[in-house]
Amino acid sequence: MTEAPEAPEAPEAPEAPEAPEAPDALAVSRRIGPELVELRRRLHRIPELGLHLPDTQAVVLEAMTGLDLEVTTGQELSSVVAVLRGRAPVSGERPVVLLRGDMDALPVTEEVDADYASQRPGLMHACGHDLHVAGLVGAARILHELRDWLVGDVVLMFQPAEEGPGGAEPMIREGLLEAAGRRVDAAYAVHVYSADHPFGTWFGRPGTLMAAADEVSVVVHGLGGHGSAPDRTRDPVPVACEIVLAFQTAVTRQFSIWDPVVLTVGKVAAGTKDNIIPDDAHIEASLRTFSPEHRGKAHEVFTRVAQGVASAHGLTAEVTIGNGYPVTVNDAEEQAFAQGVVADLFGADRWADMVDPEAGSEDMSFVLEQVPGAYLNVSACAHADHHDAEDNHSPRAAFDDAIVPDVAAALAELALRRSRELASS
Ligand SMILES: [Zn+2]
């Protein structure tokens, strides 16, 4: 091997004018990744339920200390809304992009064996919302670092109570969509899954992504009496049974088979003893619909069927349909855009089209009813074979938080690119 002659010292290059490098959200996310994973584990140890998550809120606020953000916290709930202002010049109106992460856990006793397992008996981040929070904090940090390239503003939505009773609606009431001083133009959210796909696969679909879920409650009012003399009563029990069956007939006879309606009667209750006819009978059902049209029609049809059957027998039925979360709809253009961003960042082979919507529901739907946007899913499956993995909400649902930096990068990149497009449109 011959010794190469020593290269002559290169003359000092003249200072090049500062050319801004293209922002690389992924590089930043990989650099801060270990801190985001640590944040996720910290949150995983302290799950909280519902609208009031003081410990989670405190961790979020602490994790974003030092970032130049306009932060407001919720009145009715422990939400956090942070506005991050881009510093890239904008000629027209400043675009506003919303990124959402839900924060709440579930009443589940964790059976995953990890040193960061829940320290609160009976509570667990079994739906992976701890990863969403860490991902959104990561997006805030990335966007803050790249804010010289950010055209317009980003609203970061840290939302309690996705698992009920719903945090998106009160946040909207408290001014979420106007938080940046202008109405939000586009909105995105990511959800992690512990099963379904191999780790790292992103999946979604345009149009209906998730169902609307409503609770149907029926009280059949009759007149009780002695079981030996039903003619002197108005027995609500057989009438309630007829209503349950008539509901299923209505499902198959009154709705298009191409736009499904699912009605499950999960509870029927009446009476105390074999020889006493009760005054009332109660029915509780879960109603899932996949379009606003069928949702509205279903409310009407099931009310009419219950009242009609009761009335045919000389009784009355009181029907209450609680307004749950609406249908979650991905705007077709936004979905295509978001899918493109994910494919650019991680490769097209990490995308899978969802053939069908899911029958679960999600209160990001309230945001997507008002603002075009996209809701993406990604597998954080911790098992080598995703077929063996347990689904979200299981006490054994295991999420691999190696996905958190990717979630952060995807959210940040969605905001960077969409606001650029909005500014130039
Ligand atoms: Zn969830």
pLDDT of residue 345: 97
Nearest to 204 by CA among 339, 367, 361, 381: 339
CA distances from 154 to 187, 211, 289, 373, 414 (A): 10, 28, 32, 14, 11
pLDDT at residue 6, rounded to an integer: 53
CA of 163 relative to ligand 1 center, distance in Å:
7
Beta strands in 167-291 (DSSP E): 186-193, 202-204, 207-210, 212-221, 225-226, 261-270, 276-277, 280-289
The predicted-structure confidence for 317-340, as pLDDT tens digits, reads as follows 999 999 899 999 999 999 999 999
Ligand 1: distance of its center to the CA of 128 in Å? Answer: 6
* Ligand 1 midpoint to CA 4 (Å): 61
Cα 120 to ligand 1 centre (Å):
19
CA of 177 to the centre of ligand 1 (A): 22
Query: 10 C-alpha vs ligand 1 centroid, how far in Å?
Result: 57
Ligand 1 center to 297 CA (angstroms): 28
Distance 171 CA to ligand 1 centre (A): 18
| CA of 35 relative to ligand 1 center, distance in Å | 23
Q: Is the pLDDT confidence value at 402 over 80?
A: yes
CA of 319 to the centre of ligand 1 (A): 29
CA of 193 to the centre of ligand 1 (A): 8
At 56-110, the pLDDT tens digits run 999 999 999 999 999 999 999 999 999 999 999 998 899 999 999 999 999 999 9
Span 127-155, pLDDT tens digits: 999 999 999 999 999 999 999 999 999 99
**Burial environment of residue 372 by CB neighbours within 10 A (0 to 12, 13 to 18, 19 or more):** middle
* Token pair listed for 83: 């506005």
SS3 343: helix
Mean pLDDT of 230-235: 98
Q: What pairs with residue 221 in β-bridges?
A: 280, 316
- Give the number of other CB atoms < 10 A from CB of residue 132: 27
Q: Is the Cα torsion angle 412, 413, 415, 419 positive or negative in sign?
A: positive
CA 249 – ligand 1 centroid, Å: 32
Query: 155, exposed or middle or buried, with CB in 10 Å at 0-12, 13-18, 19+?
Result: buried
The whole-number pLDDT of residue 424 equals 87
Tokens of 352: 């899978």
337 C-alpha vs ligand 1 centroid, how far in Å? 23
Q: At 205, give phi and psi (nearest 5°).
A: -160, 150
Distance CA 288, CA 304 (A): 18
> Please, are residues 405 and 378 in contact by the beta-carbon 8 Å criterion?
no
Question: 154: which residues sit within 8 A by CB, 6+ positions away?
Answer: 83, 84, 86, 96, 97, 98, 99, 143, 180, 415, 419
pLDDT tier, 425 (very low <50, low <70, confident <90, very high otherwise): confident
C-alpha 191 – ligand 1 centre gap (Å):
7
Give every CB contact of residue 373 below 8 A, 6+ residues apart in sequence: 98, 186, 187, 188, 189, 330, 331, 334, 367
The pTM for the full model equals 0.89
- How far does residue 162's CA lie from ligand 1's centre (Å)? 7
Amino acid at 231: D
* Ligand 1 center–CA 36 separation, angstroms: 19
If you measure from the C-alpha of residue 271 to the centroid of ligand 1, how many angstroms do you get, rounded to a whole number?
37
- C-alpha of residue 363 to centroid of ligand 1, in Å: 10
What's the gap in Å between 372 CA and the centre of ligand 1? 21
Mean of the per-residue pLDDT values of the chain: 94
Helix (H) or strand (E) holding 424: helix 404-424
Round to whole Å and give the CA distance between 6 and 20.
Answer: 34
Q: What distance in Å separates the CA atoms of residue 135 and residue 78, rounded to the nearest whole number?
A: 19
Gap from CA of 364 to ligand 1 centroid (Å):
10
Write down the pLDDT at residue 12. Answer: 55
Is 50 exceeded by the pLDDT of residue 1? Answer: no
Write down the pLDDT at residue 3: 47
Residue 306 CB neighbours (<10 A): 29
Q: What confidence score (pLDDT) does residue 2 get?
A: 43
Residue 348, pLDDT > 60, answer yes
C-alpha 201 to ligand 1 mean position (Å): 17
Residue 364 phi, psi dihedral angles, 5° rounding: -60, -20
Taking the C-alpha atoms of residue 112 and residue 116, their distance in angstroms, rounded to an integer, is 10
pLDDT at 92: 87
- Region 37-48 average pLDDT: 98
**pLDDT for the residue numbered 4:** 46
Whole-angstrom Cα distance, residue 99 to residue 219? 42
CA of 359 to the centre of ligand 1 (A): 13
Q: How far is the CA of 270 from the centre of ligand 1 (A)?
A: 34
Instruction: For residue 134, report the distance from its CA to the centre of ligand 1, in Å.
Output: 14
